Copies of this chain bind each other. A is one copy, B any other.
């Protein structure tokens, strides 16, 4: 058992805004590699509408071909009822994802723009989706804009706590907080996570930090200090947010997997990830996208201190 559980998001959140459309075989090889080097959770694909996001038109084909490792969760994101139906159909055919994620947003304005619904409507949909999904999947609720919204600015932590509570009441066991635009600060993160872990101990809290303003690692450490043990990340820091065009921002992306693994391992926090395979896997991701990615450790290498002192 590792001390923290990382979810590799390259194949979904990472690819969602990439101009390159990767062949199914490439996606499959990468996802199998992520699991092989120790990821217990891998974001594999999305049951998005192929007309809206063609990148994931291959969702079922990919899942059908994917070799699974026992104990690993392969996540598919589900934006609506139709997505749940596709997930159920794949599961019945014997090749489904074993983890589905459901999205709400902490602010009205962002819910309207991103999901074309009010928060109340979106919560109704979520209830229907949870009901339809049944008991065959691990469900992950995601609260986006949990630490700030491009339209409304600061987000009241009470809304976030309310949303996580609501997921818990629906029987969802895992909830991710998304710092979608990179405005979270470590003190804010520590406050919200401490409060959630105290009031909802039955929930496994996950953080999903974007590195829009370079703050992803500092927020991961703050979340860890508050007791969070599940973290989302993506090789090379790829990834962003579907409606980025509305934000007027030039850059976003997930916390870079290789930087997070390097930091946690340097702190003596066992990630369960094979360090020898980490950089090779980053290079495979870079090769797939045809460019050098944006993390620091890819350029500088893992800390030399990881290799000449006792490991925890």
Known contacts A154-B305, A154-B308, A308-B154; is-contact A263 B296 (Cβ 8 Å): no
Decide yes or no whether A186 CB sits under 8 A from chain B. yes
Contact for A304 among B183, B256, B303, B305, CB less than 8 A: B183
- Copies of chain A in the complex: 2
Known contacts A221-B218, A263-B185, A266-B185; is-contact A213 B153 (Cβ 8 Å): no
Residues of B within 8 A of A153 (CB): 304-305, 308-309
Within 8 A of B (CB), among A122-154: 148, 150, 153-154
Contact with B along A283-312 (1 / 0, CB 8 A): 000000000000111011111110011000
Which residue of chain B has the shortest Cβ distance to A216 in the bound complex?
A: B214
Stretch at the interface among A32-40, A163-171, A244-252: A244-252
Main secondary structure of the interface of A (DSSP, over half): loop
Which residue of chain B has the shortest Cβ distance to A220 in the bound complex?
A: B218
**B296 and A211 contact, CB distance less than 8 A:** yes
**A300 and B267 contact, CB distance less than 8 A:** no
Decide yes or no whether A212 CB sits under 8 A from chain B. yes
Which residue of chain B has the shortest Cβ distance to A266 in the bound complex?
A: B185
Kindly state the separation between the CA atoms of A187 and B308 in the bound complex, as whole angstroms: 18
Known contacts A153-B305, A309-B154; is-contact A295 B214 (Cβ 8 Å): yes
Chain A residues at the B interface, C-beta cutoff of 8 Å = 148, 150, 153-154, 181-183, 185-187, 211-215, 217-218, 221, 248-252, 256, 259, 262-263, 266-267, 295-297, 299-305, 308-309
Can you list 26 residue pairs at the A/B interface with Cβ under 8 Å? A153-B305, A154-B305, A154-B308, A182-B300, A182-B303, A183-B304, A183-B305, A185-B263, A186-B267, A187-B267, A211-B296, A213-B262, A213-B296, A213-B297, A214-B256, A214-B263, A214-B295, A218-B221, A218-B263, A221-B221, A249-B299, A249-B300, A251-B296, A251-B299, A251-B300, A252-B300
Please list the 9 inter-chain residue pairs (A to B) with the smallest Cβ-Cβ separation, ordered nearest first. Answer: A251-B299, A214-B296, A214-B259, A153-B308, A218-B218, A250-B299, A183-B303, A212-B300, A185-B267
Excluding A148-B305, A150-B304, A217-B218, 8 further A-B contacts by CB distance (< 8 Å) are A154-B308, A181-B304, A182-B296, A185-B267, A187-B267, A213-B296, A214-B256, A214-B295
